[in-house]
């Protein structure tokens, strides 16, 4: 038996041995200081567009709209994940009186800054990496469409007393709180309630309308990620026609009062989609069809799966907007400087349609248009990529298809056909930049195309003859 002193010495030795064998505890990672999410997503063209600090997973929008009084009541829940620890963050919302905001079910402070920013301060910081919900209740008379590059962005009233909201690059913030930039795509659900006798329409697959107490409620669900400007809400005395494509994709064509002249064009939707799928690959949207209005908005918009058309659309317009379902909707721009990825290729789709369906000689068309532009310095001075804020839609519809045809001639039909199909497949449901496309075209073609792209897409003068008339046109 050990005496007390010996036992104490032995115990001390054991403790020392254990301490020496136990690895030192690593210092804990510092908890990030909560910071305010940026008031813009980082697009130089529109510094206040979108917001930083989070990525949206989905929107759940509920609205009640009374066409007679032009009043909207909204209740929107935004599900997002935080990319930093947030003390505050912004959503984009134009107009309306906000009555309450909740973050993860807890009341949050909020304020308005400028024309678009809803600034939200949660009761506790939102941890980086966490998923959180933000619920916003609001109401009022929506902001009417104002001047935009293509026409007006915002709310329109129709001759029959209805209303709709659309526009590009902004439109969603005119009716629900949103991270308004195509870089942050998300799923979308809308539950819309309108007076009995009126019909509301949106994007996605529609549930059965339910009428109760003089109001009709319908829910639409878009499970594919969508850029917010491609969402739409319209209400009118619509006539709705539904069917399906051969593969089961729901078809929904919606005609406003006075839009009957568009029925012949709408009837060609399946033919157009079938043709475009033969060039671009499988149809990428969950629905197909169109909203046909009886109002001269000045432009159509490729709202997801269900493009919105002004009065008197022609087949070329349907081809253009449906081509966007691949080029612009499934594959969306990373920045508004990249808009040629949408418009140049949707515009060239009408050339392809003319070639394959109407027997057009595209080389002859190309030569004729190039000759007509002789001496037109103003036309050539406008670049197709990085054209400057406010000039995104300047020449993409005219110079754009010429440039795409020149690219086709430069790399050959085999590589060009692969490019048309593989680009939307490689970036499906995502975003891409013009630089990504240049690298992709070089990889597909096996050619160095820097000088060609510089001359046609980045340049501000008439391309040199070797790029203006690629080798096949010089034979």
pLDDT in tens, 286-334: 999 999 999 998 899 999 999 999 999 999 999 999 999 999 999 999 9
10 lies in some domain: no
Pairing status of strand 163-166 against strand 152-157: antiparallel
413 lies in some domain: yes
Range of the domain at 291: 238-329
Say yes or no to pLDDT of 84 above 50: yes
160 and 187 share one domain:
yes
Residues 207, 218: Cα–Cα separation, whole Å: 6
Residues 78, 37: Cα–Cα separation, whole Å: 16
314 and 202 share one domain:
no
Instruction: Please report which confidence band the pLDDT of residue 248 belongs to, taking 50, 70 and 90 as the band edges.
Output: very high
339 lies in some domain: yes
Per-residue pLDDT tens over the stretch 280-297 = 999 999 999 999 999 998
339 and 287 share one domain:
no
75 and 126 share one domain:
yes
Instruction: Return the beta strands (E) in 227-300 as ranges.
Output: 233-236, 239-244, 250-255, 288-292
Residues 444, 437: Cα–Cα separation, whole Å: 10
Residues 106, 123: Cα–Cα separation, whole Å: 7
17 lies in some domain: no
* Residue-by-residue DSSP string for 118-180: EEEE-SSPBPTT-EEEEEEEEEEPPPBPEE-SSSEEEEEE-TTS-EEEE-SS--GGGTS-B--
Say yes or no to pLDDT of 147 above 80: no
307 and 243 share one domain:
yes
Residues 453, 435: Cα–Cα separation, whole Å: 10
Instruction: Please report which confidence band the pLDDT of residue 380 belongs to, taking 50, 70 and 90 as the band edges.
Output: very high
413 and 305 share one domain:
no
124 and 154 share one domain:
yes
Return the CATH number at 391.
Answer: 1.10.390.10
Say yes or no to pLDDT of 5 above 60: no
Instruction: Please report which confidence band the pLDDT of residue 14 belongs to, taking 50, 70 and 90 as the band edges.
Output: very low
And the tokens for 350?
A: 């009408």
The stretch 5-32 carries a mean pLDDT of 47
Among 198, 223, 248, the domain-final residue is 223
197 and 272 share one domain:
no
14 lies in some domain: no
As for how many domains the chain has, the answer is: 3
Cβ-based neighbours of 423, under 8 Å, separated by 6 or more:
327, 331, 432, 437, 440
- The neighbouring-strand residues paired with 75 are 62, 137
Among 329, 347, 374, the domain-final residue is 329
Identify the pLDDT of residue 153: 86
Q: Out of 40-44, 78-82, 143-147, pick the least confident.
A: 143-147
19 lies in some domain: no
372 and 406 share one domain:
yes
Distances (CA, A) of 214 to 141, 158, 196, 197: 21, 22, 5, 9
214 and 249 share one domain:
no
436 and 320 share one domain:
no
384 lies in some domain: yes
And the tokens for 464?
A: 């040199």
Asked whether 217 and 210 are in contact (CB, 8 A), the reply is: yes
Return the CATH number at 145.
Answer: 2.60.40.1730
Among 160, 194, 223, the domain-final residue is 223
The stretch 398-403 carries a mean pLDDT of 98
67 and 205 share one domain:
yes
Asked whether 61 and 76 are in contact (CB, 8 A), the reply is: yes
368 lies in some domain: yes
């Amino acid at each position: 038996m050990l005496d007390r002193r010996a036992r104490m010495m032995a115990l001390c030795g054991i403790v020392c041995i254990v301490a020496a064998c136990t690895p030192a505890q690593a210092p804990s990672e510092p908890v990030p200081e909560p910071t305010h999410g940026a008031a813009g997503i980082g697009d130089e063209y529109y510094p206040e567009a979108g917001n930083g600090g989070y990525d949206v997973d989905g929107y759940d929008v509920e609205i009640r709209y009374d066409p007679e009084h032009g009043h909207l009541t909204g209740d929107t829940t935004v599900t997002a994940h935080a990319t930093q620890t947030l003390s505050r963050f912004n959503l984009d919302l134009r107009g309306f009186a906000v009555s309450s905001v909740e973050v993860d079910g807890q009341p949050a402070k909020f304020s308005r800054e400028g024309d678009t920013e809803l600034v939200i301060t949660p009761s506790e910081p939102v941890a980086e990496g966490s998923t959180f919900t933000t619920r916003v209740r609001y109401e009022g008379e929506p902001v009417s469409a104002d001047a935009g590059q293509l026409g007006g962005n915002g709310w329109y009233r129709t001759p029959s007393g209805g209303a709709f909201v659309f526009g590009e690059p902004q439109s969603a913030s005119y009716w629900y709180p949103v991270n308004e930039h195509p870089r942050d795509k998300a799923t979308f659900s809308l539950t819309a309630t309108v007076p009995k006798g009126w019909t509301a329409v949106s994007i996605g697959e529609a549930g059965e309308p339910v009428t109760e107490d003089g109001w009709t409620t319908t829910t639409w669900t878009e499970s594919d990620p969508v850029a917010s400007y491609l969402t739409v809400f319209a209400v009118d005395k619509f006539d709705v026609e539904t069917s399906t494509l051969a593969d089961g994709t729901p078809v929904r064509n919606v005609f406003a009062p006075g839009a009957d002249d568009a029925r012949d064009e709408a009837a060609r939707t399946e033919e157009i989609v079938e043709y475009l799928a033969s060039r671009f690959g499988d149809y990428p949207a969950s629905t197909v069809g169109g909203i046909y209005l009886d109002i001269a908005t000045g432009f159509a918009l490729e709202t997801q799966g269900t493009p919105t058309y002004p009065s008197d659309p022609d087949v070329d317009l349907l081809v253009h907007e449906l081509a966007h379902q691949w080029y612009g909707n499934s594959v969306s721009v990373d920045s508004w400087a990249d808009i040629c990825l949408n418009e140049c290729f949707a515009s060239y789709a009408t050339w392809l349609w003319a070639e394959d369906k109407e027997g057009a000689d595209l080389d002859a068309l190309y030569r004729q248009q190039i000759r007509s532009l002789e001496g037109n310095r103003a036309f050539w001075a406008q670049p197709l990529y990085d054209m400057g804020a406010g000039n995104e839609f300047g020449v993409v519809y005219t110079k754009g298809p010429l440039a795409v045809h020149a690219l086709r001639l430069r790399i050959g039909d085999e590589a060009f056909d692969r490019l048309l199909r593989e680009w939307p497949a490689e970036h499906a449901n995502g975003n891409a930049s013009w630089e990504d496309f240049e690298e992709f075209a070089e990889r597909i073609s096996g050619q160095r195309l820097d000088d060609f792209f510089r001359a046609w897409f980045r340049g501000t003068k008439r391309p040199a003859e070797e790029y203006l008339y690629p080798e096949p046109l010089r034979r």
